[in-house]
């Protein structure tokens, strides 16, 4: 639900992250939606499985890779969240072995 402090953000909608419902506002990227929900990591590295999230926030690096609607390797800081998106933590390359 938006508040007057949010300005005219529009009507909230729902996406899912790793099977859990998450509220999103129009115009926000997947990274912004996840951050607002308290999620700061949504990828693990290929070697060592170390957690990653947003690093640069402008699409230059690839730390924020996430799987959106079964499409791996999406930069969460660039992809706009859309109603009904299914977002999943990406492990390694995002492709099943």
CATH number at residue 77: 3.10.20.440
| Alpha carbon separation from 73 to 32, 42, 68 (Å, rounded) | 17, 11, 8
Q: For residue 95, tell me if it sits in a domain.
A: no
Q: Answer yes or no: is pLDDT of 7 > 60.
A: no
Q: For residue 43, tell me if it sits in a domain.
A: yes
In the predicted model, what is the mean pLDDT of residues 76-80? 97
Q: Report the number of distinct structural domains present in the chain.
A: 1
At residue 47, the pLDDT reads: 86
Distance CA 78, CA 87 (A): 14
Read off the pTM. 0.83
At residue 20, the pLDDT reads: 97
At residue 97, the pLDDT reads: 47
Torsion angles phi and psi, residue 36, rounded to 5:
-60, -30
Q: Answer yes or no: is pLDDT of 6 > 60.
A: no
Taking only the tens place, the pLDDT of each residue in 10-63 is 899 999 999 999 999 999 999 999 999 999 999 888 888 888 899 898 899 999
- Which domain, by its residues, includes 49? 4-90
Q: For residue 96, tell me if it sits in a domain.
A: no
In the predicted model, what is the mean pLDDT of residues 3-12? 66
Q: For residue 64, tell me if it sits in a domain.
A: yes
Distance CA 97, CA 7 (A): 45
C-beta of residue 33 within 8 angstroms of C-beta of residue 22? yes
């Amino acid at each position: 639900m938006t508040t007057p402090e949010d300005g005219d953000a529009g009507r909230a909608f729902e996406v899912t992250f790793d099977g859990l419902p998450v509220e999103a506002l129009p115009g926000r990227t997947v990274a912004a939606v996840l951050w607002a929900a308290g999620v700061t990591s949504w990828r693990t590295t290929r070697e060592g499985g170390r957690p990653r999230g947003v690093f640069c926030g402008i699409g230059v690096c690839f730390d924020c890779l996430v799987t959106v609607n079964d499409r791996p390797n999406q930069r969460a800081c660039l992809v706009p969240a859309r109603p009904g998106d299914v977002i999943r933590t990406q492990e390694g390359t995002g492709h099943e072995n």
